[in-house]
């Protein structure tokens, strides 16, 4: 599957997926899923690994260490955003207060 097909199939926009050239990986910035880039420039969608699981399990130390400075900045932002979203999901009072949904009781 090429990038355009992935975007259409997953209702993503062109800016939602970034290629991390330093590690030969496509990163879906919305879901955190990573996919290996194949030799023919297609995305290995059959082999996804979520970036949050990679970091938590610490099984991908070499992958993280191989990121260029530019790619690391992208990864850091995605991981921060996904962590914030998960925290909000697990803490509805915090989410309400931070995102303008707070109701005085």
pTM exceeds 0.85 for this model: no
Tell me the torsion sign for CA atoms 41, 54, 74, 98. Answer: positive
Helix (H) or strand (E) holding 26: strand 25-28
Question: CA-CA distance, 101 to 16, in Å (whole number)?
Answer: 26
| Two tokens, residue 6 | 């992935």
pLDDT digits (tens, 9 = 90+) for 57-95: 566 888 888 999 999 999 999 998 888 777 677 667 765
Residue 88 CA to chain centroid, in angstroms? 17
């Amino acid at each position: 599957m090429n990038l355009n097909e992935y975007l259409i199939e997953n209702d993503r926009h062109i800016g939602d997926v970034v290629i991390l050239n330093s590690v030969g990986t496509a990163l879906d910035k919305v879901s955190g899923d990573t996919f290996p880039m194949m030799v023919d420039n297609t995305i290995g969608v059959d082999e996804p690994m979520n970036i949050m699981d990679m970091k938590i399990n610490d099984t991908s130390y070499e992958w993280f260490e191989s990121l260029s400075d530019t790619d690391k900045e992208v990864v850091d932002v995605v991981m921060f955003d996904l962590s914030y979203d998960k925290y909000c999901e697990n803490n509805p009072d915090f989410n309400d207060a931070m995102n303008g949904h707070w109701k005085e009781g």
